[in-house]
C-alpha cells in the first residue's frame, strides 16, 4: 500500500471506515480485503487541497478511536436533521465524503491483479455496456492537436 | 478558446466511474453548498457538461420567459422573438425521441404511473443519433462520455467545424485573473497546473458557467464595478427516488432518460419528474445507508426502478469568496422549495408504489447539474451584470451568454437555450466587430 497523499496509518483508517461501509457478504468482499484502497490516489489527486487536508485530519483523529466509535460517527451522519445548521452541514459533508470515496473505490470495478473489481462487478451483476464499435475514423484528435499553438508537435 | 479541462478522444473517456467523476468535473466530482445538502456538478473537459448531459432538448415556455422578462427588463425573452435562434440551434443537432420499442420497464412505470395519477409524461426530444440499441447498447455508460459519437456533445457538433475553420483551442489552461486593458482584455492563468501564461484579445467571451465565471470575476476585482456580481444564483435540485420490486426492472438497460413529465399542472408547481437511473457508484452513493443491508440493495439493483424529481428554485442564492478565495455557494433555498420537494417526492413515491414497489427510498442529497446566474442579465446595471447585448455592464469588450447570464432558474433543461442564446450573442459580437 503506497500513496502520495496518505501515510500507511491513514490508509489503514480508510480501510477501517471502508469495512463499516462495505463489510462484504457471502458474495461481495470486505473493503479492506479487496485492497482497492491502493487506488485512492487516482481520485484524491483531483480533490481541492482543502478537502485532502480535511480527510487527513479525519483519519488522524479516527486513528486512535476504536471501531465502535467510528460506527457511532457514521450513525450520527444519518441523524443530521436533529442537529443545528453548521453541525448538520458538517455531518452531511462527512457522509457525502466518506461514502463517496469508499463507494467510488468499491463499485468502479477497477482492474486489480487479485480480480476483486471483477468479483464485485459479477457480484452485483452489472452489465451496462456500449457494444458497438464506431465505423467512422475519429478526426477530432488531430484537429485538437493542430488547434493548440502550444503543442510542441505543431512547431 | 481557453479550457481548464483536458480533451478526451472518444476512445479514451475515463470510463471507470471513479475516474470520470474525478477527472471530468471540478473539485473531484461535486462542489457542496453551505448546507451540504446540494452538490453542484460542473464539467471540466473540452465539451464540459455536454459530454455527460447534452441530450434532453426543449424550447423554453412562457413559465420560463415570463419571469425572465420581469426580472431582467429584457423584452426579447418571448417565444416569438427567440424562435429564429432556436431554429438555428436545432439545425446544428440531430434530435429525435427514442423509439418506443426500446423503452425499458423503468420507463413504462414512469409513463403509466403519470397517467394513473392524472399527469402527462411525454418522450423527451433527445440530441443523439445511431445509438444502436438493437446491438444491446446501454446509454447509461455515456454519462462518462459517448464512445461512439452518438450523443450530440459540443466537441462532436459545434467545435469540430470551428476547429476546421481555424479556431485555436488550448486545453488544460486554468484562467485565474481577467484584466481589462485599454484596447482589449488579458487573461492570466496556469497551463498544465504549473506554467504561468497570459493571453490577450480584443474581446473576451466568458463561458465558465455560474461558478467559474463568477469566481473568476470576483477574484479579478470586478465586484466594485458590478455590484450584482455573485447575486441571483439559482439551481435545480435533483433528487433520486428508488422503488424496490420483486421482479427485474433493469433501469440501466437501453436508452437513457427517455421520458419526462410534460404537464402544465406540475410546471405551475415548479417541478418536473424525469425518467433516469444512476450508474453503480452514483447509485451506491445516492441510495441511503451502508453495511450489509446496502450490499443487499446493490446486489438487487436490477430490481430497482428510479424516478428523479427536479425542483426549480425561485429564491436567489449568492456566490461569494472566502478569505482564501474559495467559492462559498449559498443556494438560497427556502421552506417553499422544501415544500415543493416534498410534493414532488410524494408523487414519485406513489408512482413507484402503484406498480408494486415493496420499498421506496429517497436520496438524502440533491445533485445539481443545472445552475444559473451569478452574472444575471438585465437592463439595470445596479441589479444585473450582463446587458441585453450580452456585454458586462461597463465593460464593452467582455461578453457572456452561458447559464451564468440567466436571470433565474427556468425549471427546464437548459442546453438548447444556451445554444440559442450563444448564437444570438455571436451575431451581436460580430456586429460589434464590424
| Cα-to-chain-centroid distance, residue B116 | 30
Q: Which chain B positions have a beta carbon within 8 Å of A130's beta carbon? A: 137-138, 141-142, 146-148
Per-residue confidence (pLDDT) for residue B184, from 0 to 100: 96
End-to-end CA distance of chain A: 42
Q: What is the pLDDT of residues A74-130, one digit of tens each?
A: 999 999 989 999 999 999 999 999 999 999 999 999 988 889 999 999 999 999 999
pLDDT digits over B256-270, tens only? Answer: 999 999 999 999 999
Q: Which of residues 126-145 of B touch A (CB under 8 A)?
A: 132, 135-138, 140-142
Burial class (CB in 10 A: 0-12, 13-18, 19+), A76: middle
B294 vs A72, A107, B302, CA distance in Å? Answer: 17, 12, 14
pLDDT digits (tens, 9 = 90+) for B109-122: 999 999 999 999 99
- Cβ atoms B385, B393 nearer than 8 A: yes
For chain B, what percent of residues have pLDDT higher than 70?
100
Residue in A96, A124, A132 nearest the CB of B135: A132
Give percent of chain A above pLDDT 70. Answer: 97
The torsion angles phi and psi of B275, rounded to 5 degrees, stand at -95, 80
Q: What is the pLDDT of residue B277?
A: 97
- Interface mutation vs chain B, best among A130, A139, A143, most B CBs within 10 Å: A130
Structure confidence at residue A63 as a pLDDT band (50, 70, 90): very high
Mean pLDDT of chain B: 96
Of A23, A96, A150, the CB nearest to B365: A96
pLDDT value for B247 = 97
Phi, psi (degrees; rounded to nearest 5) at A24: 85, 165
Phi first, then psi: give them for residue B39, nearest 5 degrees. -110, 120
Interface test with B, best of A21, A75, A100, A105 (most B CBs within 10 A): A100
Q: How far apart are the C-alpha atoms of B55 and B43, rounded to whole Å?
A: 15
Residue A64 has pLDDT above 50, yes or no: yes
Q: Which of A17, A55, A62, A52 is nearest to A37 (CA)?
A: A17
Q: Give yes or no for a contact between B378 and B384, defined as CB atoms under 8 angstroms apart.
A: yes
Q: In what order do the strands lie in the sheet with B56-57?
A: B56-57, B125-127, B95-96
Q: Any CB–CB contact under 8 A between B22 and chain A?
A: yes
Query: Pick from A48, A78, A109: which is nearest to B16 by CB?
Result: A109
DSSP assignment, residue B29?
G
The Cα of A128 is separated from the nearest Cα of chain B by a number of Å equal to: 6
How far apart CA B83 and CA B367 sit, in angstroms, is 31
Q: Does residue B396 register a pLDDT over 70?
A: yes
Q: How confident is the model at residue B55 (pLDDT cuts 50, 70, 90)?
A: confident
| A92 and A77 Cβ atoms separated by less than 8 Å | yes
Question: A 77-96 residues with CB below 8 A of B?
Answer: 78, 85, 88-90, 92-93, 95-96
Q: Which CA distances in Å does A17 have to A9, A60, B143?
A: 13, 13, 29
The minimum CA-CA distance between B96 and chain A, rounded to whole Å, is 20
CB-based contact, A128 to chain B, within 8 Å:
yes
B299 vs A93, A124, A139: nearest CB: A124
Contact A128 B253 (CB under 8 A): yes
Q: What are phi and psi of B273, to 5 degrees?
A: -110, 145
Domain ranges of chain A: 8-126
Tell me the average pLDDT across A41-69: 95
A94 CB-side CA count, 13 A: 25
pLDDT value at position A155? 46
Across the interface, whether the CB atoms of B27 and A47 are under 8 A apart is answered yes
Whole-number pLDDT of residue B54: 67
State how far the Cα of B208 lies from the Cα of B44, in Å rounded to an integer.
9
Complex ipTM > 0.90: yes
Cα B360 vs. chain centroid, distance in angstroms?
27
- Whether A96 sits inside 8 A of B29 (CB atoms) is no
- In this prediction the pTM is 0.96
What average pLDDT does range B334-338 have in this prediction?
96
Contacts of A22 (CB under 8 A, 6+ apart): A28, A30, A31, A102, A103, A106, B290, B294, B295
**Domains of chain B from N-terminus onward:** 10-44+95-150+232-373 (3.30.560)
Mark A28-58 as b/e (b = at least 16 C-beta within 10 Å).
Answer: bbebbbbbbbebbebbbebbeeebeebbbeb
- Give dist(CA B400, CA B377) in Å, integer: 9
Amino acid at each position: 500500500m503506497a500513496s502520495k497523499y496518505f501515510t500507511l496509518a491513514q490508509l489503514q483508517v480508510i480501510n477501517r471506515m471502508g469495512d463499516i461501509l462495505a463489510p462484504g457478504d457471502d458474495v461481495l468482499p470486505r473493503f479492506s480485503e479487496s485492497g482497492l484502497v491502493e487506488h485512492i490516489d487516482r481520485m484524491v489527486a483531483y480533490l481541492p487541497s482543502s478537502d485532502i487536508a480535511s480527510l487527513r485530519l479525519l483519519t488522524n483523529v479516527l486513528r486512535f478511536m476504536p471501531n465502535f466509535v467510528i460506527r457511532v460517527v457514521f450513525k450520527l451522519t444519518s441523524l443530521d436533521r436533529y442537529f443545528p445548521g453548521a453541525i448538520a452541514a458538517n455531518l452531511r459533508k462527512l457522509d457525502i465524503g466518506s461514502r463517496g470515496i469508499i463507494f467510488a473505490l468499491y463499485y468502479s470495478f477497477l482492474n486489480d491483479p487479485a480480480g476483486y473489481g471483477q468479483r464485485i462487478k459479477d457480484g452485483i451483476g452489472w452489465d451496462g455496456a456500449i457494444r458497438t464499435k464506431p465505423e467512422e475514423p475519429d478526426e477530432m484528435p488531430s484537429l485538437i492537436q493542430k488547434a493548440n499553438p502550444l503543442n510542441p508537435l505543431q512547431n | 478558446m481557453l479550457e481548464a479541462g483536458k480533451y478526451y478522444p472518444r476512445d479514451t473517456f475515463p470510463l471507470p466511474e471513479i475516474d470520470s467523476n474525478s477527472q471530468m468535473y471540478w473539485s473531484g466530482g461535486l462542489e457542496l453548498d453551505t448546507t451540504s445538502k446540494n452538490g453542484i456538478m460542473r464539467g471540466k473537459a473540452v465539451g464540459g457538461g455536454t459530454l455527460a448531459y447534452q441530450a434532453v432538448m426543449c424550447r423554453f415556455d412562457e413559465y420560463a420567459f415570463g419571469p425572465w422578462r420581469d426580472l431582467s427588463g429584457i423584452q426579447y425573452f418571448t417565444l416569438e422573438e427567440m424562435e429564429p435562434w432556436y431554429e438555428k440551434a436545432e439545425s446544428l443537432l440531430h434530435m429525435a425521441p427514442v423509439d418506443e420499442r426500446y423503452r425499458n420497464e423503468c420507463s413504462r412505470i414512469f409513463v403509466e404511473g403519470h397517467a394513473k395519477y392524472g399527469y402527462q409524461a411525454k418522450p423527451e426530444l433527445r440530441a443523439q443519433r445511431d445509438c444502436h440499441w438493437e446491438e444491446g447498447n446501454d446509454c447509461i455508460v455515456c454519462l462518462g462520455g459517448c464512445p461512439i459519437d452518438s450523443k450530440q456533445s459540443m466537441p462532436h457538433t459545434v467545435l469540430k467545424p470551428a476547429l476546421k475553420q481555424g479556431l485555436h483551442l488550448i486545453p488544460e489552461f486554468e484562467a485565474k485573473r481577467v484584466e481589462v486593458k485599454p484596447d482589449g482584455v488579458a487573461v492570466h492563468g496556469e497551463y498544465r497546473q504549473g506554467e504561468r501564461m497570459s493571453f490577450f484579445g480584443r474581446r473576451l467571451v466568458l463561458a465558465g458557467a455560474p461558478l467559474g465565471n463568477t469566481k473568476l470575476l470576483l477574484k479579478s476585482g470586478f465586484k466594485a464595478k458590478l455590484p450584482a456580481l455573485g447575486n441571483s444564483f439559482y439551481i435545480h435540485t435533483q433528487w433520486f427516488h428508488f422503488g424496490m420490486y420483486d421482479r427485474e426492472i433493469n433501469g440501466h438497460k437501453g436508452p437513457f432518460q427517455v421520458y419526462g413529465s410534460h404537464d402544465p399542472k406540475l410546471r405551475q408547481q415548479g417541478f418536473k419528474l424525469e425518467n433516469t437511473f444512476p450508474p453503480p457508484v452514483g447509485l451506491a452513493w445516492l441510495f441511503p445507508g451502508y453495511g450489509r443491508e446496502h450490499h443487499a440493495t446493490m446486489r438487487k439493483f436490477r430490481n430497482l426502478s428510479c424516478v428523479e424529481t427536479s425542483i426549480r428554485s425561485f429564491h436567489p442564492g449568492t456566490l461569494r469568496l472566502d478569505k482564501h478565495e474559495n467559492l462559498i455557494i449559498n443556494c438560497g433555498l427556502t421552506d417553499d422549495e422544501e415544500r415543493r420537494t416534498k410534493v414532488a417526492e410524494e408523487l414519485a413515491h406513489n408512482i413507484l408504489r402503484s406498480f408494486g414497489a415493496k420499498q421506496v427510498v429517497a436520496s438524502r442529497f440533491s445533485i445539481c447539474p443545472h445552475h444559473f446566474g451569478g452574472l444575471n442579465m438585465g437592463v439595470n446595471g445596479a441589479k444585473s451584470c450582463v446587458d441585453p447585448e450580452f456585454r458586462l455592464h461597463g465593460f464593452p469588450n467582455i461578453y457572456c451568454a452561458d447559464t451564468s447570464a440567466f436571470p433565474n432558474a427556468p425549471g427546464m433543461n437548459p442546453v438548447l437555450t444556451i445554444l440559442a442564446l450563444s448564437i444570438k450573442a455571436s451575431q451581436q459580437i460580430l456586429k460589434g466587430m464590424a
